[in-house]
């Protein structure tokens, strides 16, 4: 029986147009294919997400009918056999060194989980704002919050993060949040119960800008920040 180093979990809902690219980008990783598995969790899709994920080369495709990104991720976590579990979204694509960089980051003493930014393909002002957010907000806000309030915090991007399997066991699995605040709550629990959540700018992956096209950059950014602060002060994730 082969020893699995990484389990890569992709929650997907109606991603028939992008899931093949996500899975195939994982097949091009500079990593021994025998040491990682690809698990796609179909979150009750009504299109051909399941079939396309399977035909693209996913090792396992399972169905989770309870709607929500973290519900799907948690199902994938329970299916996983790897020492490290990495999470990717169905509309994202990784660079070939993604797993290598994750492995290096998790080898740093005290680091319990690692995350990185998205490359949305922005240009001009949107790119400048996105880069500023990645460098300033994601890297320094947790330090500032701890300095002021003496409560630990972490920042992770739900579609681009990883941690040792036992880290997720220690926080009782991924918090059952459907979407808004799912990544913030996960980051708070890990940083407060297990160890540091490292945000690595070099762990950037390609992702779809569709949410920004739908809601607008500033409105979406505001929603993320207010949700993050609500989770930060919530007693539920202390």
Instruction: Tell me what pLDDT residue 217 has.
Output: 64
Dihedral, 217, 223, 226, 230 alpha carbons, nearest 10: -150
Instruction: Tell me what pLDDT residue 124 has.
Output: 82
By the 8 A CB rule, do 57 and 38 touch? yes
Residue among 215, 146, 152 nearest 184 (CA): 152
Compute the distance between CA of residue 156 and CA of residue 217 in angstroms, rounded to an integer. Answer: 19
pTM of the model as a whole: 0.93
Confidence of residue 215 (pLDDT cuts 50, 70, 90): low
Burial level of 170, CB count in 10 A (0-12/13-18/19+)?
middle
Whether 154 has a pLDDT exceeding 60, the answer reads: yes
By the 8 A CB rule, do 103 and 211 touch? no
Confidence of residue 212 (pLDDT cuts 50, 70, 90): low
Q: Which tokens hold the place of 70?
A: 């973290």
pLDDT (mean) for 200-216: 81
Query: Which helix (H) or strand (E) covers residue 25, if one does?
Result: helix 19-27
Mean of pLDDT over the chain:
92
Q: State the residue for tokens 């009782």.
A: 172
Out of 103-107, 119-123, 210-214, pick the least confident.
Answer: 210-214
**What are the structural domains of the chain?**
6-237 (3.90.550.10)
The dihedral through the CA atoms of 200, 19, 2, 80 has a sign that is positive
Length of the chain: 238
Instruction: Tell me what pLDDT residue 77 has.
Output: 98
- The pLDDT tens digits for 38-97 are 999 999 999 999 999 999 999 999 999 999 999 999 999 999 999 999 999 999 999 999
């Amino acid at each position: 029986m082969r020893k699995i180093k990484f389990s890569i979990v992709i929650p997907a809902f109606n991603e028939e147009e992008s899931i093949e690219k996500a899975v195939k980008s994982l097949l091009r990783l500079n990593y021994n294919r025998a040491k990682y598995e690809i698990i796609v969790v179909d979150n009750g899709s009504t299109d051909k997400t399941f079939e396309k994920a399977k035909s693209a080369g996913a090792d396992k495709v399972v169905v989770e009918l309870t709607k929500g990104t973290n519900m799907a991720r948690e199902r994938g976590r329970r299916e996983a056999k790897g020492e490290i579990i990495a999470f990717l979204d169905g509309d994202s694509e990784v660079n070939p060194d993604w797993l290598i960089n994750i492995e290096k980051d998790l080898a740093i003493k005290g680091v319990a989980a690692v995350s990185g930014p998205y490359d949305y393909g922005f240009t001009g002002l949107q790119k400048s704002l996105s880069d500023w957010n990645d460098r300033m907000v994601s890297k320094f806000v947790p330090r500032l919050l701890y300095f002021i309030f003496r409560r630990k915090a972490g920042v992770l991007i739900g579609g681009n993060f990883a941690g040792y399997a036992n880290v997720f066991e220690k926080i009782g699995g991924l918090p059952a949040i459907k979407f808004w605040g799912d990544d913030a709550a996960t980051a708070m629990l890990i940083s407060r119960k297990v160890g540091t959540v490292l945000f690595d700018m070099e762990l950037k992956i390609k992702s779809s800008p569709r949410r920004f096209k739908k809601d607008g950059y500033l409105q979406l950014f505001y929603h993320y920040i207010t949700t993050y602060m609500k989770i930060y002060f919530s007693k539920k994730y202390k």
